[in-house]
Amino acid sequence: MTANNQSKRLLSLAITAVVLMTGLSTRMWFLQAVKAEENEEIVVAVRTRTIRLLPERGRIIDAKGRVIADNKRILTATIDREVIKDPEDRLEMFRRLSGPLQMPVETLFKRYEDKRFGPLEALPLKEDISEEVALFLRERSEDYPGLYVREEWKRNYPYGAIGSHVIGYMGAISEKNLAYYRSIDYDPNERVGGYGLEQSYEQILRGTPGYVRYEVNAQGKLLRLIERVEPIIGNDLELSLDITIQQFAEQALETQLVLRRRVEAGNIRLEDGTIDPLFPDPVLYKAPAGSVVLLNHDTGQVIAMASYPRFDSRWFNAGITKEKFAEIFPQTEDPDLSILVNRAVSGRYNLGSSFKPFIAYAALNSGQLPGGSSYVYDDNGTYTLESIPKDRCQDGVKCVFRNAVCRSTGAPCRYGPVAVDDALAVSSDSFFYKIGEQILTERGYKPILEEQVRLFGFGSPTNIDLPYEYAGTIPSKALKKRMADIGAISKESGKAYYVGDQILFSIGQGLLSATPIQVASAYGVLGSGGKVLQPHLVKTVLEPGTPDSSPGIANMSQSSVVERFDAREPIRTLDMSGDRLKPIVDGLARVITGPGVNYGTYHKTTGELLFKGYPYGVLPIAGKTGTAQGLGNLPWNDSSAFGAFSLDPNQPYSAFAYLEKAGYGSQAAAPVVKCIFMAMSGKYKVDPVVAADPLNINSSVAAPPSYLRNPTCLSGGRSDNRD
C-alpha cells in the first residue's frame, strides 16, 4: 500500500515537471519568436537615448513685409530621468547642478515633480542658458551623467505691445490641455500658441519635430551618434495687418480714452429741473477700455485691430514668477479692468444709434415704409405707441418714447418732417421707434426685423481667424426665455417678447449685443454695395524659411505661397438695388458734412462740427454716431460708438470704434475713427514704427502708455444732439 502511494506521488511530480517545462519552453519560444521584435526595441531603448529636436516656429509678417513675430535660438539643459531615478542620486545631482544653473535645489525638485513632463522623457531643467554654461556642462559630462544641452527656439516680438491682442503669445501647455497635445505628438515641454493668431494657426506655425538618437552607457553617458533627423521649420504667415496703422490706431484709442477721463459727464436732473441729491457733484467719465477696427470692405482683410487695455506679449516669455505675473495681470471680476481680452472680437456691446443704418435697410428692403425712400415722418420730439390701448398706458405701461435731449432747449429734439436720410443725419429716435413698432405689429408679429439685420451678420460669429469670438445677440422671444432661464433677466420678463423690446431694438439698445468686428463688417456691407465678407487677418500661408531682404524685413518677392486667403467670395450679397442703399448712404454722408435739418431752428448733424476740416475731397466717408446707455441710465455709464465707410471705391475702408463709458458717440468714438481715416488719406502724419525697447521686467504694468504725438485729429466741435 505504501509503495503504491509513493508511485502515485512520483507520477504527480513527473506530470507537474512536464507541465512546467512545457510552459517554460512555450514562454521562451514566445519571447524569442513572437515578441522578439518588441523585446529588441526595449533593449535598444535601454542602450540608446532619443532626444527630440523642436522645430523653429514659422514667422508672422505684416502687410509691408515686417516680421512681427520672430524666433531666437536658445539652449535648454535636460537630463535623463534614469540617471536620477534613485532619490539619493537625484538629490546629489540637483546639488551639483544648482550652482551652474543658478537654480535652488527646491526649484529643480519642483521641475522633477511637474506633471507636464512625462516620466519617459528627458526632463528639461532650465531654458535659455548661456553658451558659457552650456560649454561648462558639456566639458564636465563625467560630473553630470545623463545631462544634455539641446537647441530650442524662443518666440520674439520685435514691436513689443503693438498688435499683441491680434498676434497673441506663446505659453506652456496647461495641465487641462496636456492630453490633447500629447495625442497630436507634442512634447509636454513645448510652448504653444495661447492666444491670437499664435493659437489659431498653431499647427501651421509649429513645423515638424526632428530627433537625434545616441548610444549611451549604463551611466547615461553619450557614446556615439546613431541617427539625426532634422526638424522642419513651420510655415510663415503673411498678414493684412499694417503694423504702422496698427500702432496709430492703438495710439488714437488710448489717447482718446485718457482724454475722456478728464471730462465731466454732468449731473442728473429730476423732472422739476433740480439736481438729483444722490449725485450732487458732476462725475468724470471712467473710459476704462475700448476697441477700434479698420478693414478693407472689398476683401474682408483687417488692416488694424486695436483693443485697450494693451499688453506686451513678451511677458509670457520673460521667465517671471507667478507672483510677478499676478501683479501684471491681476485676476479681476471687473470687466473694465480685463487686459487679456480682445474687445474687438469678444466685446459684448449695445450699439445705440450706430445700429440705425441697418434698421433703415430693414424698413426699405422689407417694404415697411409707405413710398420707400420718399416716406416722411413728422418728428415732434416724442413717439407714442399706436398698438397699445390708452387705458393700458394709463395703467403704467410705458407708451411714450422721446428723442435725445437738445442742449439748446434742454428738451427732446424736435426735427419736424424727416425722411430716411434726414433721420440718419440728425439721429431721430422717433423715426426709428415708429419703424420698430410697426414692422412688428403690422406684419403679424413676425421676426422680420430680426431676419433683416441677420443678413448683415448680426447674431452670428464672423468666423474671423481669431479665437474667443462672441456671436452677439438679436432680441427675440427665444433669447428672452434663454436669458430668463439662466437668471440674466427675471422670469416674468422672459415670458413674452413685447413691443417695448422691439422699440429698444430699433435704436440699438435692449437685448441687442454685437462685437466691433461684426459692426465694422456690417458697415463694410454698406460700403461695398452689399457684399457680406468673412473678415480675416492672414492673407497667405508661406513655405518655411522666407528669406530677409534686410534685418527684420522679409523678402516677399522670394516667398512661396502654400495657401492664399485674400480673394474670398462673398458669403452672400444683399440686394441694394433701387432706393435700398442710396438714402442710407446720403444720410450717413450728411452726418460727416451736413447739412442738418431746419425746423424752427437749424439742427446740426451729429458729426458735421467734428469733421470740419477733414480732407473729404481726398477720402470721402459716411458714418453714424451712437451712444449706448449704460447701467442705471447714468450719464457716466454711457458708451460711445461710431461706424464709417469710404465712398471712394479705390480706397475701400470701413471702420468702427467703441469706447466704453466714455460718453456720446460724437465726442469719444467718432474722433478716433476720424483720426484713422485722416491717416489713411495721407493728410495726417503717422509715426514710423520702430522696434520696442527691451522689456522692463521691473515694471508692474502690462504695457507702457502709447499716445499720439499730435492729437489734434481728435479735436472738433460738438453737435447740439447728444448722440
> What 3 state SS string does 141-174 have?
CCCCCCEEEEEEEEEECCCCCCCHHHHCCEEECC
436 has pLDDT over 50? yes
Q: Any idea what DSSP says for residue 264?
A: B
14 has pLDDT over 90? no
Could you report the per-residue pLDDT of 60-103, keeping only the tens digit for each?
Answer: 999 999 999 999 999 999 998 888 888 898 999 999 999 999 99
| The amino acid at 179 | A
| Strands of 210-216's sheet in order across | 48-53, 210-216, 222-229
Could you report the per-residue pLDDT of 100-113, keeping only the tens digit for each?
Answer: 999 999 999 988 88
**Lowest pLDDT segment from 33-37, 261-265, 525-529, 624-628:** 33-37
For residue 37, the model assigns a pLDDT of 56
Distance (Å, whole) CA 78 – CA 118? 13
- Best mean pLDDT range from 109-118, 185-194, 581-590: 581-590
For residue 9, the model assigns a pLDDT of 64
Average pLDDT over residues 276-281: 74
46 has pLDDT over 60? no
Could you report the per-residue pLDDT of 627-666, keeping only the tens digit for each?
Answer: 998 887 788 899 999 999 999 999 999 999 999 999 999 9
The larger pLDDT score, comparing residue 600 to residue 695, is at 695
Average pLDDT over residues 575-588: 96
Q: Cβ(405)–Cβ(429) under 8 Å?
A: no
For residue 722, the model assigns a pLDDT of 63
For residue 192, the model assigns a pLDDT of 95
Average pLDDT over residues 667-694: 96
Q: Any idea what DSSP says for residue 30?
A: I
- Best mean pLDDT range from 134-138, 293-297, 318-322: 293-297
For residue 22, the model assigns a pLDDT of 66
Average pLDDT over residues 481-508: 91
Average pLDDT over residues 388-413: 86
Q: Which long-range contacts (CB under 8 A, 24 or more apart) does 220-227 make?
A: 220/49, 220/80, 220/82, 220/83, 220/145, 220/146, 221/141, 221/142, 221/145, 221/146, 222/49, 222/141, 222/148, 226/48
Where residue 44 falls among pLDDT bands split at 50, 70, 90?
very low
691 has pLDDT over 70? yes
**Lowest pLDDT segment from 112-121, 180-189, 209-218, 506-515:** 112-121
Where residue 36 falls among pLDDT bands split at 50, 70, 90?
low
Where residue 615 falls among pLDDT bands split at 50, 70, 90?
very high
**Set of cell numbers at residue 274:** 433740480
Average pLDDT over residues 322-350: 93
690 has pLDDT over 60? yes
For residue 538, give every residue at least 6 positions away whose Cβ sits within 8 Å of its Cβ, in sequence order, or none: 197, 201, 237, 238, 239, 240, 465, 565
For residue 20, the model assigns a pLDDT of 66
7 has pLDDT over 70? no
For residue 609, the model assigns a pLDDT of 95
43 has pLDDT over 50? no
For residue 450, the model assigns a pLDDT of 97
Other beta carbons within 10 angstroms of residue 164's beta carbon come to 28
Q: Any idea what DSSP says for residue 427?
A: T
Q: Cβ(233)–Cβ(58) under 8 Å?
A: yes
Average pLDDT over residues 382-396: 88
Query: Position of cell 483720426?
Result: 675
242 has pLDDT over 90? yes
**Lowest pLDDT segment from 21-30, 114-123, 328-337, 612-621:** 21-30
Distance (Å, whole) CA 678 – CA 301? 19
For residue 220, the model assigns a pLDDT of 63
Nearest one of 530, 529, 527 to 623, comparing CA atoms: 527
Average pLDDT over residues 118-139: 87
Distance (Å, whole) CA 297 – CA 524? 5
Percent of the chain, pLDDT > 70? 91
CA terminus-to-terminus distance, the chain: 118
Q: Cβ(136)–Cβ(75) under 8 Å?
A: no
Query: Position of cell 511530480?
Result: 13
Q: Cβ(681)–Cβ(615) under 8 Å?
A: yes
591 has pLDDT over 50? yes
CA 191 to chain centre: 20
Please provide the average confidence, as pLDDT, over all residues in the chain.
90
For residue 350, give every residue at least 6 positions away whose Cβ sits within 8 Å of its Cβ, in sequence order, or none: 508, 509, 510, 512, 513, 628, 629, 639
39 has pLDDT over 50? no
456 has pLDDT over 50? yes
**Lowest pLDDT segment from 216-225, 379-388, 616-625:** 216-225
Which neighbouring-strand residues pair with 563?
Answer: 541
Other beta carbons within 10 angstroms of residue 386's beta carbon come to 12
Could you report the per-residue pLDDT of 506-559, keeping only the tens digit for each?
Answer: 999 999 999 999 999 999 999 999 999 999 999 999 999 899 999 999 999 999
For residue 2, the model assigns a pLDDT of 54
**Domains of the chain with bracketed CATH:** 48-239 (3.90.1310.10), 240-533+570-723 (3.40.710.10)
For residue 71, the model assigns a pLDDT of 95
Cis peptide bond upstream of 309, omega within 30: yes
For residue 473, give every residue at least 6 positions away whose Cβ sits within 8 Å of its Cβ, in sequence order, or none: 459, 479, 511, 512, 513
In 3-state terms, what secondary structure has residue 302?
strand
199 has pLDDT over 90? yes
For residue 424, the model assigns a pLDDT of 97
Q: Cβ(291)–Cβ(347) under 8 Å?
A: yes
Query: Position of cell 475701400?
Result: 652
The larger pLDDT score, comparing residue 36 to residue 498, is at 498
Average pLDDT over residues 396-411: 86
Phi, psi of 331 (to 5 degrees): -70, 135
- DSSP string for 363-393: HHHTT-STTGGG--EEE-SEEE-SSS-HHHH
Percent of the chain, pLDDT > 90? 69
Q: Cβ(607)–Cβ(591) under 8 Å?
A: yes
Where residue 214 falls among pLDDT bands split at 50, 70, 90?
confident
**Lowest pLDDT segment from 252-266, 304-318, 397-411:** 397-411
371 has pLDDT over 70? yes
